[in-house]
């Protein structure tokens, strides 16, 4: 299990998030700025197995952000760089 992101650093406003879920689960995807403010939050329902989601960074300015994925009581973190 884990989270993978494609196309980092992000320069075209869209990136792909891939993760595996052992069960059908509600999943939350949060993007926070460097001081911890939540900039974007999406609620998803992920099916058991591999899930692929395309997310947009259009409202984000250039900088470094934190990506947090919560699914089935597990938390995964990744750094996002928006160019």
How far apart, in whole angstroms, are the C-alpha atoms of residue 51 and residue 63?
Answer: 27
Query: Quick one: tokens of 39?
Result: 């900039």
Tens-digit pLDDT string for the chain (83 aa): 466 555 466 766 778 888 877 788 888 999 999 999 999 898 988 888 888 888 887 778 888 989 898 887 888 888 888 88
Q: Which residues contact 29 (CB under 8 A, 6 or more apart)?
A: 17, 40, 41, 42, 44, 53, 55, 67, 68, 69
Query: Quick one: tokens of 41?
Result: 């939050």
How far apart, in whole angstroms, are the C-alpha atoms of residue 9 and residue 65?
Answer: 11
Query: Does the predicted TM-score (pTM) go above 0.85?
Result: no
């Amino acid at each position: 299990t884990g989270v993978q992101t494609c196309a980092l650093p992000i320069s075209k406003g869209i990136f792909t998030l891939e993760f595996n879920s052992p069960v059908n689960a509600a999943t939350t995807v949060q993007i926070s700025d460097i001081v911890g403010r939540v900039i974007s939050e999406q609620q998803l329902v992920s099916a058991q197995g591999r899930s692929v989601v395309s997310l947009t960074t259009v409202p984000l300015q250039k900088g470094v952000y934190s990506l947090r994925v919560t699914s089935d009581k597990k938390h995964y973190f990744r750094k996002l760089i928006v160019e």
